[in-house]
Amino acid sequence: MSDLKAELTEILDEAEWEWLIPHVQRDAVILVAPNLNLVDVGVAIASDNIPSVEQWIDEQLITKPTTVQVGEWNLNRSKRFNTLIVQPYVLAQEIAAA
C-alpha cells in the first residue's frame, strides 16, 4: 500500500481548468473536498476501499462537478486544481484563489 501511496504522490500535479474540460466532458472528473488528502482518496479508489469511498460520497466530500461549478470555471479559465489520475478518473481539488 505504501508503494501505491508513493507512486500517487509522485504523479500529483497542478492543472488549469482548460486541461480538465475534456475529462469533465467524458464524466471522469471527481472533485475532492479541500479537507481531504488527495493522495489518500486516490489510494482508497485505486485499492477499492469501498467503505471509505462510500462514506466520502455520502458526506459529499467527493462529488462530480455540478453544472454551476463548470459554468463558474468556464468564466474563470485561470482556475487551478491539484490533480491526480487514478484511471479511469481524474481526481481534482480546487486551489483557493490567493
- For residue 89 the three cell numbers come to 478518473
The percent of residues above 70 in pLDDT, for the chain, comes to 97
What's the pTM?
A: 0.92
Confidence of residue 45 (pLDDT cuts 50, 70, 90): very high
pLDDT band at 47 (very low <50, low <70, confident <90, very high): very high
Q: How many domains does the chain have?
A: 1
Cβ 82 vs Cβ 13: under 8 Å: yes
Q: Which domain holds residue 82?
A: 2-94
Report pLDDT digits (tens) over 78-90: 899 999 999 999 9
> Phi then psi for 20, rounded to 5 degrees?
-85, -20
3-state class (DSSP) for residue 84 = strand
Average pLDDT, integer, range 44-59 = 97
